[in-house]
Amino acid sequence: MKVSIFGLGYVGVVTAACLARDGHEVIGVDVNLDKVRAVASGVSPIVEPGLADLLYAGAQAGRIRATDDITEAIEGSDVSLVSVGTPSGDRGAPFLGHVFKVVTEIAETASGHGKDHVVVVRSTVPPGTLEKCADIVAERAAGVRVHLAFNPEFLREGSAIADFNEPCYTVIGTEDDQAEAAVRELYAAVSAPFLVVSPEVAEMVKYVANCWHAAKIGFANEIGRMAKALGVDGRAVMDIIVQDTKLNVSPVYMKPGFAYGGSCLPKDVRALLYYAQTMNVPMPLIAALPSSNQLQIDAACDLVLATKPARVAVYGLAFKSGTDDLRESPAVPLVKRLLGEGCEVRIFSPDVSRPRLMGANLEYIRAVIPHFEQLLDERPVEAGKWADVVVITHPQAEFDEALQALPEGKRVVDLAGVFSERPERFEYDGIAW
């Protein structure tokens, strides 16, 4: 393909070198003439293992050149990648002016030459940015079609070429078939699955990935501080944690939904924070977990109460499916709040059987909701029909069967993501979708 890359910073230069190696013809574009001259001569303007050799080989083969002339770049390419900076403003908001300026110039230049074009934004931008780019294109690209996509990059400094060669996936945010086809062809030499999603999802993914990486670093560092205070080697602890790919390094627990609960997570977080406090070890990230979890419970309550229901059916009282454990289940404070707001509540929770509850489990629920037995209802369909709103707290097969029997128009609040797509037959709300 013939590709122009706007922005010869870290991402732009690495991408140019790798695409040229894979057989594409690349034109680098930048307002900084020093960068332009360096790339044009095959000299890397940044330090990155293996990059200098790739750039030199590309320039020698005639597959890499560089310019500050936008007209030259658009005339010589069919696809443009936008990799300009989006630096933080005073309050943290990203400055998107460089992105919009480049898209405007590409659209105007393509229009002036009567040439259809594909524009792929790679700069890190917030959701809705590609839509704004589409508005710019609609206004400035008269007489031609400019196809748009967002393609986030996940290149780490120091291993960028390896990351380009072996990504976990290639994300394409677009609803344009021609833009999608162009991105697929760009990375045809890269062995990784393509994930085609809406532009907004793709834009959000990059922010989430970086925030998650930051959270992991902060978490490991807090554990290290606490481990040292207890006379333990934090490295040895985390070495064991990361070897568990079933739970610790996996998709488990990584889906939005209701709050955590049960007899372990809340208790163990509190215990670790207690020792941190007594030993004067700051752990702000872990200290934020209980309040963050409480905010999710509050959000669920507010969502249920948004329509001021008089009667609420709650499907699921235990903290997860397949158990009768009510200890610190987030559904319990949810029910307590609903009762406090004056709602009538019926609970369908097949794993919570009065004859089986005993010990700490029974003591806990009676301390929080003394008359909980009176709220239990083993007729989920009848309870659902009776209620103004049905609340699902966790996935369970019995809940699916009951939901299928509910009348159309019933308001359903889904805290567990049991519906992969919005059900048209219900008045439906999800806690994070």
Tell me which of 180, 197, 214 is where a domain ends. Answer: 197
Q: What pLDDT score does 193 carry?
A: 98
Residues 6+ apart with CB under 8 A from 18: 54, 161, 164, 165
399 with 418, same domain: the answer is yes
User: Does residue 7 lie within any of the structural domains?
Assistant: yes
18 catalytic residue (yes or no)? no
pLDDT given for residue 112 in this prediction: 95
Q: Is residue 262 part of a domain?
A: no
Residue with tokens 């122009």: 4
Same domain, 59 and 168: yes
Give alpha helix (H) positions in 25-128: 33-40, 51-60, 70-75, 97-112
Sorted by sequence, the CB contacts under 8 Å of residue 400 that are 6+ apart come out as 418
Are 193 and 205 found together in one domain?
no
Q: What are phi and psi of 158, to 5 degrees?
A: 95, -20
Q: 187 with 205, same domain? A: no
Using CB atoms within 10 Å of the CB of residue 388, give its burial: 0 to 12 exposed, 13 to 18 middle, 19+ buried: middle
- The pLDDT of residue 215 is 95
pLDDT, position 256:
93
Tell me how many domains the chain contains. Answer: 3
241 and 300 belong to one structural domain: no
The residues that bridge with 4 in the sheet, in sequence order, are 27, 80
CA distances in angstroms from 71 to 47, 76, 102, 241, 308, listed in the order given: 29, 8, 12, 53, 60
SS3 state of residue 94: strand
Residue 67 shares a structural domain with residue 185: yes
Shared-domain flag, residues 158 and 222: no
Q: Which of 211, 264, 301, 343 is catalytic?
A: 264
pLDDT for 24? 98
Classify residue 285: in a domain, yes or no.
no
Q: Determine, yes or no, domain membership for 32.
A: yes
Whether residue 109 is found in the same domain as residue 47: yes
- Residue-range definition of the domain harbouring residue 210: 199-254
Q: Do 215 and 320 fall into the same domain?
A: no
Which distant-in-sequence residues (6+ apart) come within 8 Å of 184 by Cβ? 172, 194
Task: Return averaged pLDDT per consecutive 10 residues of the chain, 433 residues in all.
Answer: 97 98 98 96 95 97 97 97 93 94 98 96 96 98 96 95 97 98 98 98 96 94 95 95 95 93 92 94 96 96 98 96 92 98 97 80 92 94 98 95 95 94 94 93
Count of alpha carbons within 13 angstroms of residue 85, beta-carbon side: 8
pTM above 0.75, yes or no: yes
Say whether both 56 and 108 belong to one domain: yes
Same domain, 227 and 181: no
Q: What is the CATH number of the domain that holds 422?
A: 3.40.50.720
Which pLDDT belongs to residue 354?
64
Q: Is residue 260 in some structural domain?
A: no
**DSSP 8-state class, residue 376:** B
Q: So what's the pLDDT on residue 382?
A: 97
170 and 215 belong to one structural domain: no
Structural domain includes residue 397: yes
Q: Is residue 289 part of a domain?
A: no
Please give the structure tokens belonging to residue 167. Answer: 């990504």
